[in-house]
Chains A and B, each alone.
Chain A
Amino acid sequence: MPDSATLPGMQDALALGLTSAEYELICEHQDGPPNLLELAMYSLLWSEHCAYKHSKKLLRTLPTDGPHVVLGPGENAGAVDVGSGLVCAFKVESHNHPSAVEPFQGAATGVGGILRDIFAIGARPIAVLDSLRFGEPSSAGRARYLLDGAVSGIGHYGNSIGVPTVGGEVYFEAPYEHNPLVNAMALGLASRERLVRSAAAGPGNAVILFGAATGRDGIGGASVLASAELGGAGDGEDGAGGDHDKRPTVQVGDPFEEKKLLECSLELLDRGLLVSLQDLGAAGLTSSAAEMASKGAVGIDIDVASVPLREPGMAPFEIMISESQERMLCIAEPAQVPAVHAVCAKWEVLSAVIGTVTERSRLRVFEGERLLGDMAVGALVDDCPLYDLAPAKPARPLYPAPARALDAHASLRETLLALIASPNIASRRPLFERYDAIVQSRTVRRPEQADAAVLALADGGALAVSIDGNGRRVAADPYRGTIEAALECAANLACVGAEPLGATNNLNFGNPEKPHVAWQLSESVRGLGEACRALQAPIVGGNVSLYNETPAGPIYPTPVIGMVGRLPDARRAGRLGFARAGDRIALAGPFAPALPASELAKLHGEPLPDGLPAAELQAVCSAQALVREAVRDGLLASAHDIAEGGLAVALAECCLAGGVGAEVVLEDSLGQAAPLEALFGEGPGGFVVSGGADALDALAARARARVALISIGVVGGDSLTIEMAGERVTAALSELDEAHRALEALS
C-alpha cells in the first residue's frame, strides 16, 4: 500500500506513463510535487486516452457543424435532429486493448461504455453496431479465439440489456493478429428538449454517484492499457499473449446492472430531478468529476469515504481512478436528493451523495474531513500539453505482402468462388446470428437484407446507419483510403434511400510518436474532413485509439466511420437482393475498377500499392443522390454498392440475398479493362441496381448526362452468368451459397 506521506517523484511519474516535461509542468501547477493521489489523477487525465494530446490539433480540422447538428463533439455523444422533435444521439468508441487482453469482457464493457455515453445525454439507446478487426482466421487459432470472445461479449451485453445489434463489419488481416480492434457504435433517441448536458452547475448542489459499487477492477486502464503499445505475441498458448499481467486492468461488465441503471437514469431525467449527468468511463470518478466541473466552470469536492465500495481497504487513489463499470455521476439540487434516492431505490440501484459543487474551480478529494488532494480543474482537463505530430511518409513499405491464397492463373470462375469464400467477403451470418437485431421493434432492415440497417421512427420515416473502414486500402493510401471509407458509408445509406445527417469516427492507429504513423494519421484525418464536407456529414463525436502496435509493427491505419441518415418513408427502405425474375440490372455511377489493394490482390499475395486512384468526389456524390432518390421514389427493386471483390462479387451478393440468379453481359464500355479488372477491381462510386424495365428507363432519363448508367443484364434463373470480351463466367446459386458460408467453419 503506497504511503501518501512520502511524495512520489519523477520515477513514479514515468512509471505512470507521463513524460518528465509533463511531470515538471504538473509540479508547476501544484506549486510543488503532487502527492500520489494527485499524480495518479493527473497521469490518467493527461493520458492520450483522456487528453487526446497527439490528436486534438488534427481533430480540430474536421467539419463538426451542419444544419442537423444538435450536439457536436465534446459531450458524451453527438446528436442530430431527425425531425418530429426527436434527436438521434450516436457515437463510436473503441475497446481495443482490453479486448486484446480479454476479448469477452473487453468487448462486453466496450458496449456497456458506449451505451452509457448515449443515455448520459438523456437518449434511450436503440441500436448497437460493431466494427471488428482480427488476424487471418487461418492463423494459429488466436484470431478465432479473439473473434469468438469479442462476438460473444458484444452479444452478451447487447442482448441482455435489450438493445438490438443491427449491423457491423469485420475484416481479417494479418496486421491485426496481435492487436485486434473492437469498436462499438451506439445510437439513441431522445426528444429534443429532454437532452441533458454534462456541465456541473450550481455551487452547493449535490454530487451523486449511482450504479454499481466501486471496486478495484480496471485500475489505471486508461493509461496503462489504452495509451501504450501492447507487449506482443508472447508465448500465448492460452491465447492471452504476453499481456497476462495487464488482465486486472480489464473491467468486468454486468449488463443486468446497466439495464437497471439505464431505466433509472431515464426516469431521473423524465422527472426533471437532475441538473446534469455524466457516465463513468476511462479514469472513473477522476475524469467524470473533472470534466463536469470543467464544462460548468465550477469546482467539485468529493469525499471518498462516501463512495459505496465493493471491497474493503481500498486506498483513496484507487477509489478515484477505479474503472468499475455501470456507474453514473449526477448533479442535483439539495431539495431533489431524496427524490433521486427514491428513484434509484425503485430500480434497485445504489446511490450516494459523494460530494458538492463549489465555486472555485478546484477538484478537491477528501476522506471525511481530511483533505487528500487539491487540483485546479483547468490544469487537469485543459492544460495537458498538446503535441504536434512529426509526420513523414515512410520511405519503404510498412507492411509485408499478404500470404498468397489463390493462384494468379485461377480461372475467372474459380476466382469468383474464392472471393465469395474469402474471410472478408463471406457471409457474416454465423456472427450476426449471435446478436438480437430486433428487440425494441424498430428494425426494418436486418443484416444481409440491405447495405445499411434501417430503424423505423414513429412519424413513418426511418433512420439508417452504416459503419465502415477498410484498413488495407487506408494503408495503401491514408488520404484516399479514408475518403473511400466515408463514401462507402454514404453509399450504404443511399442504397436504403437515406441521406447523411452526421457521422462519428474512431481513429485506430499505431504509435503517433513515430513519424510514419503520424503521417498515416494526419493524411487520414485530412481525407476524412474532405469527404465529410463533400457528403455534408459533419462529425459530431468520436474517439481516438492510438498505440495499436506490437513488436511486429503497427496495425493497418483504421479510421472507422459510422454514419447516420434519415429516409422519409420506412416502407420504401431499399433492399440489396434481386427481387423478381425479369427485372433489369444496371450499373450506376463513376465506377473505375482497379485491382491494386483489392481483395483479389490480397488473395494473390500482392504487396500494397503506394497510393490509390483519386475518387471523383462530386461524381460519386451525384451517383449516390441518383440512387437515393430512386429508392425513395420506389423505382428500384434492389440497390447495392460495389465494394470488396468488385462488380462480380456485388452481383453474386444481390443473387444470394434475393435467392435468384442473373444473366449479365458487360459491354466494351466497361470492358476496356481486362476481364479480371472489370469483374473484381475495386473503387468507389459504383452501384448495382435492379427494377422493372420501365423503372430503369426512368432511372436512365434521370441519370442522363449527370451519372453514368449502363444496362448490364436481367434477373432470373438459378445461376449467375457474366459474359464479357468472349469470356463467360457462370456459377450456380447453390455453389455461390456454399462458398459464401465459409465462415461457418469458424464458429
Chain B
Amino acid sequence: MKFGVLRLPGSCDDVDALQAARRVADAELIWHADRDLRGADAIVVPGGFSYGDYLRAGAIARFAPAMESVIAFACDGGLVLGICNGFQVLCEARLLPGALLPNSDLRFTFRQVELEVIAPSAPFTGACPRGERLSIPAKHSWGRYYADQPTLDELDDAGQIVLRYAPGENFNGSLRDIAGVRNAAGNVFGMMPHPEHAVDQLIGGSSDGLCIFQSMRLAVEEGLVGA
C-alpha cells in the first residue's frame, strides 16, 4: 500500500502528511508538474497555501498537471484525501460538494478541536474508535464550510457528512458544524482539521489523527476501493 502526497508550490504540510502516512504504509511525494502518480494507491492533497492562495484558496492548484491525474484517479474510484488547503483544492476541482469560505471572524485561527465522527465507516473513518471524539488541530483562515440548503440536506441524508465539530468547537462558522465531507461515491474526502498533526503523543499530545490514515490503508488492502 502506497500513499502519494502532492507537493504543490506553496504546500506547507506536505512533509508532515508524508511522515504521517509513512507510519501506516509506504508514501512518497508527487511533484505538481508531473502527471505520473507513481503507482500510489491513495492520494493526499496536503495543507498549505498552494500558489499563495492567490485568487482564492485552492483555485489555481486545481489546474496543476498533477491535479489532472488526481481528478482522473478519483473519477476511477481512487482514494483521495484533502486536508485543509487540500480540501479547498478538491472543492475547487468539483471533486467535493460545497466550498470553504473565510472564517466568520475573518481571521486565521490555530486551535486543537474536538471532532465527532458522524460516519464511522470505510474508507476514511473505518478504523476510528466508535463513539469517541477525535482531538485534532485545525489551522486556517478559509475553513467555513458552505453549501446551499438543498445540498446540505442531501449530504445529511446520504451520510456524506463524515466529521463534525463537537458542540462549542466550530470556531470558523461552518454550516451544520461540518468539519469533513465525502463525495457521493465515497472515495474522495476532505477535512479542514489536520490529522497528520495528530499522529504522535509527543508532538501535540494526541494521536487521534492516525486512524484516518489507518482507515485508508485498510480500505485499500481489503479491496474496498481502487482506481
User: Which 8 pairs show the lowest CB-CB distances between chains A and B?
Assistant: A256-B52, A162-B12, A160-B49, A441-B16, A436-B139, A438-B197, A436-B110, A434-B108
Judged by a CB distance under 8 angstroms, whether A443 is at the interface is yes
Query: Which residues of A are found within 8 Å of B137, using beta-carbon distances?
Result: 438
Find the B residue at minimum CB distance from A260: B9
- List A residues 234-272 near B (Cβ within 8 Å): 254-257, 259-260
CA distance A442 to B16 in the complex (A): 10
Q: A438-B110, A438-B197 are in contact. Are A444 and B202 (CB under 8 A)?
A: yes
* Complex interface residues of chain A between 432 and 476 (CB less than 8 A to chain B): 432-444, 446, 456
Contact B10 A438 (CB under 8 A): no
Q: Which residue on chain A has the smallest CB distance to residue B109?
A: A433
The reply to whether A444 and B203 contact each other, CB–CB distance below 8 Å, is yes
In the complex, which residue of chain B has the Cβ closest to the Cβ of A449?
Answer: B205
* Whole-angstrom distance between the Cβ of A699 and the nearest chain B Cβ: 25
B31-63 Cβ-contact flags toward A at 8 Å (1 or 0):
000000000000000011101111000000000
- Are B10 and A259 neighbours in the complex by a CB distance under 8 Å? yes
B12 and A256 contacting across the interface, CB-CB below 8 Å: no
With A159-B139, A436-B139 in contact, do A441 and B203 touch (Cβ < 8 Å)?
yes
CB-CB nearest in chain A for B19: A441
Complex: how many Å from CA A86 to CA B10? 26
If A159-B108, A256-B10, A259-B10 touch, whether A440 touches B16 (CB-CB below 8 Å) is: yes
Other contacts beyond A259-B9, A441-B19, A442-B203: 8, CB < 8 A: A159-B139, A433-B109, A436-B12, A438-B139, A440-B16, A441-B203, A444-B203, A571-B202
Decide yes or no whether A161 CB sits under 8 A from chain B.
yes
Asked if A433 and B19 make an inter-chain contact with CB atoms under 8 angstroms apart, the answer reads no
Indicate whether A92 reaches chain B with its CB closer than 8 angstroms. no
- Chain A nearest CB from B11 CB (Å) reads 8
Partner of A162, one of B48, B108, B111, B196: B48
Residues of B within 8 A of A160 (CB): 10, 12, 49, 52-53
Tell me if A542 is interfacial: C-beta within 8 Å of chain B. no
* Chain B minimum-CB-distance residue to A570: B202
Chain A CB within 8 A of B28 CB? no
Task: Known A160-B49, A436-B139, A439-B13; judge A256-B197 contact (CB<8 A).
Answer: no
Q: Check if B175 is an interface residue, CB within 8 A of chain A.
A: no
- Closest partner residue, chain B, to A446 (CB atom): B204
Considering only CB atoms, which chain B residue lies closest to A160 in the complex? Answer: B49
Q: Within the assembled complex, what's the spacing in Å between the Cα atoms of A434 and B140?
A: 9
Whether B107 is near chain A, meaning CB under 8 Å from some CB there, is yes
- Which A residue's beta carbon lies closest to that of B105? A747
Chain B residues contacting A347 (CB-CB under 8 Å) are 9
B54 touches A256 (CB 8 A): yes
Cβ-defined contact, A443 with B203, below 8 A: yes
28 cross-chain CB contacts under 8 A: A152-B107, A159-B108, A160-B52, A162-B11, A256-B9, A256-B53, A259-B10, A259-B49, A260-B10, A347-B9, A433-B110, A436-B110, A436-B139, A438-B137, A438-B139, A438-B203, A438-B204, A439-B47, A439-B197, A441-B15, A441-B16, A441-B196, A441-B197, A441-B200, A441-B203, A443-B204, A446-B204, A747-B107
Cβ–Cβ < 8 Å partners of B53 in chain A: 160, 256
Question: B189-220: which have CB < 8 Å to A?
Answer: 194, 196-197, 200, 202-204
* Minimum CB–CB distance for B130 against chain A, Å: 27
Q: What chain B residues lie within 8 Å of A596 (beta carbons)?
A: none
A152 to B196, CA, bound (A): 25
Chain B 2-23, CB within 8 Å of chain A: the 1/0 string?
0000000111110110011000
CA distance in complex: A435, B110 (Å): 6
* Residue numbers in A under 8 Å from B13 (CB-CB): 162, 439
Contact check, A255 vs B49: say whether CB atoms are below 8 A apart: yes
Q: Mark B104-139, 1 if CB is under 8 A from A, else 0.
A: 000111110000000000000000000000000101
Task: Decide yes or no: A434 and B12 within 8 Å by CB, A159-B139, A444-B202, A570-B202 being known contacts.
Answer: no
Quick check: is A78 within 8 A (CB to CB) of the other chain?
A: no
Smallest CB separation, B53 vs chain A (Å):
7
- Chain A residue nearest to B31 (CB atoms) is A346
Q: Measured between alpha carbons, how far is A427 from B56 in the docked complex, in Å?
A: 33
Contacting residues, chain B, for A437 (C-beta < 8 A): 110
B164 to A: closest C-beta gap in Å:
21
Give the residue among A260, A438, A570 with the most B Cβ atoms within 10 A: A438
Q: Kindly provide the distance from the CB of A211 to the nearest chain B CB, expressed in whole angstroms.
A: 14
Whole-angstrom CA separation of A715 from B120 in the bound complex: 40
B residues near A571, Cβ cutoff 8 Å: 202
Q: Which residues of B contact A667 (CB under 8 A)?
A: none
A435 and chain B: residue at smallest CB distance = B110
B115 CB to closest chain A CB (Å) equals 16
User: CB of A308 within 8 A of chain B?
Assistant: no
Q: How far is the CB of A252 from chain B (nearest CB, A)?
A: 13
Give Cα A604 to B225, complex, Å. 68
Instruction: Contact check, B9 vs A348: say whether CB atoms are below 8 A apart.
Output: yes
In the complex, what residue of chain B is closest to A438 when comparing beta carbons? B197
Rounded to whole angstroms, the CA-CA distance of A571 and B20 in the bound complex is: 19
Residues of A within 8 A of B15 (CB): 440-441
Contacts of B107 in A (CB 8 A): 152, 434, 747
Q: Is A510 an interface residue (CB 8 A)?
A: no
Q: Nearest CB to that of B137 among chain A residues?
A: A438
Name the residue in B10, B194, B200, B203 with the highest tally of chain A Cβ atoms < 10 Å from its Cβ.
Answer: B203
A502 vs B126: C-alpha distance when bound (angstroms)? 48
What sequence of 0s and 1s flags, for each residue 560-571 of chain A, a beta carbon within 8 Å of any chain B beta carbon? 000000000011
* Residues in chain B near residue A152, CB distance under 8 A: 107
B96 CB, nearest partner CB in chain A, Å: 23
